[in-house]
Structure 1
Amino acid sequence: MIFKKIKSPILRYLLIAILSVFLFFILFIGSIQIGLWGSLPSKKELSNLEYQKASEVYAADSTLIGKYYLFDRQPIAFEEFPENLLDALIAIEDERFYTHSGVDYPSLMRVAFKSILMQDQSSGGGSTITQQLAKNLYPREERKKTNIAVDKIKEMFIASRLEDLYSKEELLYHYLNTVSFGDNTFGVESASLKFFNKKAKNLNTEEAAVLVGMLKATYGYNPRVFPENSLKRRNLVLQAMQKNNYLSEKQKDSLTALPLKLDYKEFNYNDGLAPYFREEVRKQLLAWSATQKENGQEYNIYTSGLKIYTTLDYKMQQLAEEAMVAHLTVLQKDFEKSYGKNAPWLTNKKLLDKLLKRTSAYKRLKKNGLSEGQILDSLSIKRKMMLADWESEKTVEASTLDSLQHYLKYLNTGSLGIDPTSGAVKTWIGGVNFKYFKYDHISQSKRQVGSTFKPIVYTAALENGLAPCTYFSAQEVAYENLKGWSPSNSGNKDEAYLNYSMEQALSNSVNTVAVKVLEEVGVLKVIRQANKMGILEKLPSEPSLALGTGEIKITELAGAYASFVNNSKPVTPYLIQTISNSKDSILETFKPKVAEVEAFSSETRQTMIEMMKETINSGTASRLRDTYNLPNAIAGKTGTTQNNKDAWFVGVTPKLVHITWVGLDNHELGFKSTSLGQGANAALPMFALLMQKLNKDKEFNAITKAQFETPSDKVLENLSCDPIKKDGFLKRLFKNPEKKKTKKFKSN
């Protein structure tokens, strides 16, 4: 044998050792190839690459407003990768990409020499883009040193198979759509949107270099966290581009001198535009996806890459949120000031104890067997926590009780704007802060609607033959068969001498007249009219219904009011227009839900609009004209519930119906005074401020300059009467305004 011919035993043993190592290495590689260290993906599996894709939510103008995902990834076509991005990637990561077949052996030898012999830890890994793609598709399960060699060789085999199956362009397509940029962000499109708020195809060269630079260390070169490191790495990428002739030296120098500029926009569940709207879309999408199939399986809204196009008006939503913040910031201060040191969230021990027992912290301690005293002591211990107000989020020393008191006092809101002809949602504000108040006051809440229900009562009256110039006395009545129940007005005593036309009574929201109108029409007929107008909630079959004691969702109330400007037909507000798959094929189109049958006559419709216009021009909502100087065609209604717990305003224009509710989450708390908590003061300004903003933008002219239909001569004639008639001299002489009239409520 050859070994016997070698006379030197040292040389002979050395040769045997080298051959043994070589043979071991060959056997080791072979064992990996046949799957002894875990199976390798077959060519068939690799030829059908599928990876999880984020679903995207778009506003009506196709602006991306949110995502649903497990991994934030938005695959895009190869044609959407800008050339500067591809050049930067090749230059810094794999300059021989177009010539090797998956493994760059010269680079591998260089890295091995530097790492093993010269102990240079900065020599890099020697992995090609194709090998990195293999690692992206099949992440390493363990990080132990003993597995590194196995993983590397596995990736080389996978890379070789990928090169056999795909063109270089296709490999780049898969790589750039799967590579991680940290923070659960995958693929260059998602990274581009996050760091620069633009699509990848619009990246300029220095921005592309920033993203490519991150690939070496997604955290260490994160431009938001470590801007100086990112800038240095970006400039190194630009230098590599110049070295590989993708940039001239002059271009490289010019770009290197530029500062690092980000437009960071994280698609966070809690933050961003319209979080309550996005959550409601998510809920509706989950219900939809449960009934759909994709290749025999349900669509997964977190992984299927769906594209959801909604009805939301992006710019109007921005303005609505600005109006909400501007108004409630001031109102919150006035609210707290009105109570002073005697605020119920500070002094109402019974209420605080009840709410404290509902907290998860209390329930956990109770379950652990602590006594009541021990629990209260524990929940009174101060620790560092984050508390938010209208100014900012602050880390403070506070207890669970402190936190409860802090958030208990906050006013909340539900505000919805829809297109009255279709029900398409234009704006949706379900609360003041989604991070801290998850409860949506549009989709989840049902509150008493107060005087905003009165237009439905008056609509029923007109439909049942009462003329708009029918007069009703404003005198307070005690109803004997209702345990002496006696609805009152907020006016002066002399109001007992006044007789209001229906138009004037509605515009000034006279409670005593509303109940009398309801009595004249009949409770059941009013409920039937409400049903015709799309209100399906169970309403109280009692006289107090006239004052809005029924609890109704904002969506139903909006749909009902839409009928006044939609040919007497109510609508059902809807949020989603279309759902497409990741390849832009439409899976579902959602059509407007408009009632087929008119809820009332065109004469009633015109009459009600004229009556509600008076609410704006001279009634309870006249501050829209006097204070906010709005010239628009507006009808509407204010509303305030008992003990000032709910403030409402409904604004109706020919092209927009907008409803606002303001109050506290806890039903036991309300405004201290009617002047502060009435709908005209607490809710109306949100609509007013929004309309002011819309008026300044020509983009909304179709809404702000729209006019109501001209009422017929008959309608105008029917409304042509004195708004108020005063009792005659003799009647006033023998009437005591302080004495309530007593009678039985007439049931029809």
Structure 2
Amino acid sequence: MDPHSGHVKAYVGGPSYKHFKYDMATMGKRQVGSTIKPFIYTLAMQEGLTPCDLVPNVPQTFYLPTGQTWTPRTSGNRREGEMVSLKWGLAQSNNNITAWIMKQYNPQAVVNILRSLGIKSPMDAVPALSLGAPDFGLSEMVAAYATYANKGVHSEPLFVTRIEDRYGNVISTFNPRRSEAINEHNAYLMLNLLQGVVNTGTAIRLRLTYNLRGQIGGKTGTTQNNSDGWFIGVSPNLVTGVWVGGEDRDVHFDNTYLGQGANMALPIWALYMIPAYEDPESGYSLEDEFEAPLRFDIDLNCPDEYVPQSEDEIEIETIGEQQRNEFL
């Protein structure tokens, strides 16, 4: 999707219409896992925080109306107990940090920001939102991420620009529906956070394996039993989402190493973007840059920003479905 015009450049709804007559790109909905986390960080940016602000990397306990408590877990224990930047938290897809943001505000505030970014799917205002518990559609997720590359203006995906009769007479024309979701300043902060995921976090494979340079942001997502793998990549002029899974959720990889979004979905994004970047007629280039707002003067070089030399230094994403079941 072109984030500026809203034009959908291409989409694949299924592997074969002959055997699979259901469009998973525009009709299907699946659990989004960690791809929901940038939306929660958007709330933090909107409330005045910046990517380099430090927060405690410790488990967060929520007190539920039932009188019970719920504490989401995170994978591994890297830097546990330390003060870490929000950029580090999103790059590592750390559940402690996402839960900390959720706790500073409330689940309803997260629902509100999701609605403003164009997510229309049903969701409950509960702490499990921080783990990506709800099911969203791929097209609405891509449009929401495109908002960041469009200076905070959300555009509904536009599949058809006009209809002509057989003589070339224009019967009808269509324009994208747009609305300001967040301000340009906060959209740019989110682009910096998403670039941190690619430069230092769970999507670093784009750099290390596929040798993609330039300004690229994105977010990986993984769900329970490795049933769903997600990657949404944001470049200055094209935003693309990839979901990988079986029609039946019982179809899945046996382990998270193979089944995480960084392994299932991210390579698809890389292998189709490489020729797009290399084609001089495509209109997309690794030289494209995100435009900073006027008079933007925030230092985005965080003190704990470290570029890993291998994927072994990256936490494997925590899977959220089991913890959601515990919550429910």
Q: TM-score, normalised by structure 2?
A: 0.87
Letter in 2 for 1:675: Y
Post-superposition shift, 1:720?
A: 4.1
Residue 571 (str. 1) matches residue 155 (str. 2) = yes
Change (3 A) 1:659 1:470: same
Select the residue among 176, 180, 189 that pairs with 1:607.
Answer: 189
**Residues 707-747 of structure 1, C-alpha deviations (whole Å, 9 max, x = no match):** 11146665532x344237xxxxxxxxxxxxxxxxxxxxxxx
2:295 and 2:206 map into 1 onto residues whose CA distance is: 28
Find the aligned partners of 1:560 and 1:443 in 2 and give their Cα distance: 14
Match of 1:439 in 2: 22
How far apart, CA to CA, are the structure 2 residues paired with 1:534 and 1:518?
20
How many angstroms does 1:446 deviate by?
0.7
User: Is the alpha carbon distance of 1:534 and 1:479 closer, same or farther for their aligned partners in structure 2, counting shifts above 3 Å?
Assistant: closer
Q: Quickly say closer, same or farther: Cα 1:642–1:472, change in 2 above 3 A.
A: farther
**Aligned-partner SS, 1:562:** helix
User: Is residue 66 of structure 2 the alignment partner of residue 513 of structure 1?
Assistant: no
Partner of 1:694: 276
2:40–2:101: 8 Å Cα contact kept in structure 1? yes
In 2, the alpha carbon distance for the partners of 1:704 and 1:647 equals: 25
Shift of 1:426: 0.7
The one of the two structures with greater contact order (alpha-carbon pairs below 8 A, sep at least 6) is: 2
Q: For the residues of structure 2 that align with 1:500 and 1:713, how far apart are their CA atoms? A: 27
Show the counterpart of 2:85: 501
Structure 1 residue ranges without an equivalent (≥5): 1-417, 725-748
Matched, 1:593 2:174: no
1:722 aligns to 2:303 (yes or no): yes
Give the structure with the higher percent helix. 1
Q: Equivalents in 2 of 1:636, 1:620: separation in Å?
A: 9
Instruction: Specify the SS of the correspondent of 1:552.
Output: strand
Q: Which amino acid aligns with 1:436?
A: H
Deviation per CA, 1:308-331: give whole Å up to 9, x if none.
Answer: xxxxxxxxxxxxxxxxxxxxxxxx
Identity across aligned pairs (percent)?
Answer: 37
Q: Decide whether aligned partners of structure 1 residues 674 and 711 sit closer, same or farther in structure 2, where only a CA change above 3 A counts.
A: farther
SS at match of 2:79: helix
Match of 2:127 in 1: 543
Structure 2 matches for 1:318-329, cutoff 5 A? none
> Structure 2: which amino acid aligns with 1:666?
D
Residues of 1 paired with 2:63 and 2:174: CA distance?
A: 52
- Contact preservation (8 Å) 2:220, 2:230: yes
Secondary structure of 2:9 counterpart: strand
Residues 692 and 702 from structure 1, CA distance in 2 versus in 1: closer, same or farther, beyond 3 angstroms? closer
- 1:75-119 Cα offsets, whole Å, 9 max, x none, are xxxxxxxxxxxxxxxxxxxxxxxxxxxxxxxxxxxxxxxxxxxxx
Map residues 589-668 of structure 1 onto 2, 5 A cutoff: 589-595=173-179, 598-668=180-250
Give, in whole Å, the separation in 2 of the partners of 1:546 and 1:455: 10
CA 1:480–1:565: 2 relative to 1, 3 Å: closer
> 1:272-313 deviations in whole A, cap 9, x for unaligned?
xxxxxxxxxxxxxxxxxxxxxxxxxxxxxxxxxxxxxxxxxx
Q: Secondary structure at the match of 1:699?
A: coil
CA distance, structure 2, for counterparts of residue 460 and residue 477 of structure 1: 18
Matched, 1:486 2:54: no
CA distance in 2, matches of 1:668, 1:698: 42
Following TM superposition, by how much is the alpha carbon of 1:519 offset from its aligned partner in structure 2, in angstroms?
1.2
Residue 324 of structure 2: aligned partner: none
The SS at the match of 2:288 is coil
Any conservation in 2 of the 1:448–1:641 contact (CA below 8 Å)? yes
CA positional deviation for 1:638 = 0.7
Partner SS state of residue 23, structure 2: coil
Deviations 1:195-244 (A, max 9, x none): xxxxxxxxxxxxxxxxxxxxxxxxxxxxxxxxxxxxxxxxxxxxxxxxxx
- Residue type matched to 2:72 in 1? P
Cα distance in 2, alignment partners of residues 667 and 592 from structure 1: 34
Q: Distance in 1 between matches of 2:76 and 2:265?
A: 21
Residue identity in the other structure for 2:76: G
Q: Which residue of 1 aligns with 2:289?
A: 707
Give, in angstroms, the shift of residue 470 of structure 1.
3.0
Match of 2:309 in 1: none
1:486 shift after superposition? 2.5
Q: Could you give the per-residue CA deviations for residues 3-61 of structure 1, whole angstroms, max 9, x where no partner exists?
A: xxxxxxxxxxxxxxxxxxxxxxxxxxxxxxxxxxxxxxxxxxxxxxxxxxxxxxxxxxx
Matches of residues 257-406 of structure 1 in structure 2 within 5 Å?
A: none
- CA RMSD for the aligned pairs? 1.9
Give CA deviations for 1:505-543 in whole Å, capped at 9, x if unaligned.
011110111011111122111111111111122222111
* Partner SS state of residue 212, structure 2: coil
Is 1:451 equivalent to 2:57 in the alignment?
A: no
- Give the conservation status (yes or no) of the 8 Å contact 1:656–1:703: no
Is 1:580 matched up with 2:183? no
Structure 1 partner of 2:144: 560
Question: Could you tell me whether the CA contact under 8 Å between 1:419 and 1:657 is conserved in 2?
Answer: yes
SS state at 1:692 partner: helix
Q: Is contact 1:451–1:638 with CA below 8 Å preserved after alignment?
A: yes
Q: CA offset at residue 575 of structure 1?
A: 1.2
CA distance in 1, matches of 2:103, 2:199: 28
C-alpha change, 1:566 and 1:468, in structure 2 (3 Å) is same
How far the C-alpha of 1:618 sits from its partner, in A, is 1.0
**1:467-526 Cα shifts (integer Å, max 9, x gaps):** 43332222234545374433222223x532222211110111101110111111221111
**Residue 703 of structure 1: how far off its partner (Å):** 4.7
TM-score by length of 1: 0.39
1:522 to 106, 119, 125: 106
Q: What amino acid is the match of 2:282?
A: F
Q: Structure 2 vs 1, CA of residues 485 and 670 (structure 1 numbering), >3 Å: closer, same or farther?
A: farther
Compute the displacement of 1:422 (Å).
Answer: 1.6
State yes or no: 1:469 paired with 2:52.
yes
CA contact (8 A) 1:644 1:673 kept: yes
Residue matched to 2:314: none
Q: Are residues 526 and 478 of structure 1, via their aligned partners in 2, closer, same or farther at CA, if it must alter by over 3 Å?
A: closer
- Structure 2 gap ranges (5+): 306-328
Are the equivalent residues in 2 in contact too, given 1:540–1:549 (CA < 8 A)? Answer: no
- Note the C-alpha offset of 1:635: 0.8
Query: Residues 422 and 593 of structure 1 are in contact (CA less than 8 Å); yes or no, is this contact kept in structure 2?
Result: no
Q: Which has the larger radius of gyration?
A: 1
Q: Distance in 2 between matches of 1:720 and 1:537?
A: 36
Counterpart code for 1:531: R
State the distance in 1 between where 2:293 and 2:176 align. 27
Corresponding residue SS for 2:15: coil
* Structure 2 SS opposite 1:428: coil
**1:466 counterpart letter in structure 2:** L
| Structure 1 counterpart SS, 2:182 | coil
